[in-house]
Chain A
Amino acid sequence: MFLEKLSNLPGVSGDEGAVREAIIEILQGHPQLEWRTDTTGNLLVRKNGSSSPSRRVMLAAHMDEVGLIIVSIEKSGHLKFKSVGGIDSRVLVSKRVRVGREGIPGVIGVKAIHLQKPDERKKPFKEDQLYIDIGAKNKEEAEKHVSIGSYAAFDTECLSFGEGCFRGKAFDDRAGCAVLLELLREKNSLSFDAAFTVQEEVGLRGARVASYTLRPQLALAVEATAAADTPDTKKEQSAAVLGKGPALSFMDRTLIVDRGILQSLIEAGERTQVPFQFRRATAGGTDAGAIALSREGVKAGVVAVPCRYIHSPCSVLKESDLQDTVSLVRAWLEAIA
């Protein structure tokens, strides 16, 4: 699957170009597929299988990831930034980033602990205390590489580790993109629309436009969802666990999942014996929330790959969950075709 390739690319909300180009490259040469982009940068792909479904179906996965945007360049050459999408600023300290279209390396440094007063040591660092350092000796040198508005993405190399696990950045939602790519590329009779959307992390913005354009009757967002099957978290507070298959949502902040879609997903899983779990939380939102309210209303659902430490520079997922997500969505598409 293409998770590794996609994860390594920068694609902060509003700057999804590298991801979009990589996906288009992967789509090349498949006669069943046609695609176009819109003015927001969404990539809309149509798969023309031999079946002609009675209802227009849209799958959505977002290309963007949380990251940083440069808001000013200091005299010293340090870059001030703000976060794009929801990032807990405590995870930023002492991390590597890639800045701008050139992808030049930078680090997020911090005052050495020796130089901090005792009461400073007890407080978490806030975003406005942090800088990106690209090693420039002054503002002039920095401006050769970076300008206000340049984006910075986490610099984490995706790799497999442990027992069938992957470690890397931006699994939310390159995992979903990878799932959609599998379903698009395989040769079968299925017909559907796939939207690789932009700007999910800043308010489900691409999906809203994409669904207006595509006018689906049924829609599924393929997402990554927070798993917290980790120490110090009560079992009832973890939305999902790794290794038990895709998590099906019943409700979140943006959507009450259509009961018919939820039922058809459950039946698809049971019929094909693909493991699945329920997402045991109602916080957060996905593209499906925006799609559901498009035009006259769309029946929508969410299938999500469980993923630990999302929105951080390094998240973890299990490859079997990714495969099971492909299988479950495929089974669902077959059932409704």
Chain B
Amino acid sequence: MEALIKELVETYGPSGEETAVRELIDEKVRGSVDRTFTDNLGNLFALREGPAPRLMFSAHMDEIGVIVTHIDGNGFLRITPIGGVAPHLLVGQRLRFKDGVIGTVYHEKIKGLKELSWPKLYLDIGAASREAAKERVRIGDMACLHQPFVNLGERYLAKAMDDRIGCAVLVEAARRLPPSLPQGVCFLFSVQEEVGLRGATTAAYRLEPDYGFAVDVTSVGDTPEAPLMAVSLGKGPAIKVKDSSVLCHPRVRELMIETAEREKIPYQLEVLERGGTDAGAIHLSREGIPSGAVSIPCRYVHAPSEMVDVSDVRHAVNLVMKLSTRAWPLLDSGNGSR
């Protein structure tokens, strides 16, 4: 699985430019499912057919990045963020464009970090003039972090763990599913999560699943003087209770806990005070879709190097698999008068 994770996190894919990630995942997952297809926004659906109900697991393909808004007379590029990027975390970082152009971010003269804002940042791709820059980059081109994957032994370090690690978990879970399932399962690889859960919004509408699960990273409280949060690296995947986008359906959460306990999969419970996931969009689709989330604990979310624990990832794969193979209750479609 390490090779798969390395390949996924090192692929270019800021929100709206997920093509390379999608093609890679499609190739990896196609053999394990009945069919794959895409939609207008670029979501990738990988479907295992089966009787009702239908489960949907969603991991997002996109990562945070920047977009070029201006090329100045000397060939420097001005940029604005795609998703929640903190400007101070970009200073000195290398960024890469789709076709491989690389540059570094620095700032204009400032008195202190407090003055650091997007208009003060620029991207230098080593172009000696405006013309030279324009040959390599156009306004509207996007770039993402350029960081190699590193295996630290028990832990992995890389850019875009958020949420390629979720993608890797789904691809791996799909591979390991038995030939027969008690219900249909769709693995959704969604787009544009970082800019507002957009891909999951249209995908859930299209697929109309009975249950939805986001598979995404979550923050932790186990680093020095971290915000109070009872999630740590290495203690198993987290079963989400709440974040700012969703209050997970109590029944779904209980069934997730029951599954983890029965299968002896270590787990933690997660209350994330700031941040959202695809479950936020999925549970409000159409007439409502009971939803939950499997979170992979991750340090330094949205920083250039995000860290996850190898055993957490392994257990997350197992949990997604066991959630797929256990039978989920049929939902009545409401006994309304319509």
Contact surface of B with A, Cβ cutoff 8 Å:
15-17, 39-41, 43, 67, 69-70, 72, 78, 80, 82, 119, 139-140, 192, 195-196, 198, 201-203, 205-206
Check if A186 is an interface residue, CB within 8 A of chain B: no
Q: Given contacts A250-B139, A251-B16, A296-B40, are A237 and B119 in contact (CB under 8 A)?
A: yes
Select one of A236, A254, A299 contacting B40, CB under 8 A. Answer: A299
> How far is the CB of A135 from the nearest CB of chain B, in Å?
45
Contact surface of A with B, Cβ cutoff 8 Å:
217, 234-237, 250-251, 254, 256, 258-259, 262, 278, 280-283, 292-293, 295-299
Q: Are B41 and A297 in contact (CB under 8 A)?
A: yes
Chain A residues, Cβ within 8 Å of B140:
250-251, 262, 278
Chain A residues, Cβ within 8 Å of B192:
256
Q: Are A251 and B82 in contact (CB under 8 A)?
A: yes
Chain B residues, Cβ within 8 Å of A293:
198, 201-202
Q: Are B70 and A280 in contact (CB under 8 A)?
A: yes
Chain A residues, Cβ within 8 Å of B78:
236
Given contacts A262-B140, A297-B39, 20 further A-B contacts (CB under 8 A): A234-B119, A235-B70, A236-B70, A236-B78, A251-B16, A251-B67, A256-B16, A256-B82, A256-B192, A278-B140, A280-B69, A280-B70, A280-B139, A282-B80, A293-B198, A295-B205, A296-B39, A297-B40, A297-B201, A299-B40
Chain B residues, Cβ within 8 Å of A254:
196
List, sorted by A's number, 30 A–B pairs whose CB atoms are closer than 8 Å. Answer: A217-B40, A234-B119, A235-B72, A236-B69, A236-B70, A236-B72, A236-B78, A251-B16, A251-B67, A254-B196, A256-B82, A256-B192, A256-B195, A259-B16, A262-B140, A278-B139, A278-B140, A280-B69, A281-B69, A281-B80, A282-B69, A282-B80, A292-B198, A293-B198, A295-B202, A295-B205, A295-B206, A297-B41, A297-B43, A297-B203
Bound: A283/B82 CA distance, A: 11
> How far is the CB of B173 from the nearest CB of chain A, in Å?
25
> How far is the CB of A207 from the nearest CB of chain B, in Å?
15
Nearest A-chain residue to B206, judged by Cβ:
A296
Most central of A217, A254, A262, A282 by chain B CB within 10 Å: A282
Bound: A235/B72 CA distance, A: 9
Bound: A296/B202 CA distance, A: 5
Select one of B69, B80, B195, B202 contacting A297, CB under 8 A. Answer: B202
Bound: A297/B205 CA distance, A: 9
Bound: A217/B40 CA distance, A: 8
Q: Are B40 and A298 in contact (CB under 8 A)?
A: yes
Nearest B-chain residue to A298, judged by Cβ:
B40
Bound: A296/B42 CA distance, A: 11
Chain B residues, Cβ within 8 Å of A299:
40-41
Nearest B-chain residue to A249, judged by Cβ:
B140
Most central of A256, A281, A283, A292 by chain B CB within 10 Å: A256
Bound: A251/B17 CA distance, A: 12
Nearest B-chain residue to A283, judged by Cβ:
B80
Bound: A236/B198 CA distance, A: 29
Chain B residues, Cβ within 8 Å of A280:
69-70, 139
Q: Are A282 and B201 in contact (CB under 8 A)?
A: no
Nearest A-chain residue to B17, judged by Cβ:
A259
Bound: A296/B285 CA distance, A: 11
Bound: A284/B71 CA distance, A: 21
Chain A residues, Cβ within 8 Å of B119:
234, 236-237
Chain B residues, Cβ within 8 Å of A295:
202, 205-206
Nearest A-chain residue to B39, judged by Cβ:
A297
Bound: A49/B206 CA distance, A: 31
| 7 nearest A-B residue pairs (beta carbon) | A297-B202, A256-B16, A250-B140, A236-B70, A297-B40, A296-B206, A297-B41
Q: Are A256 and B70 in contact (CB under 8 A)?
A: no
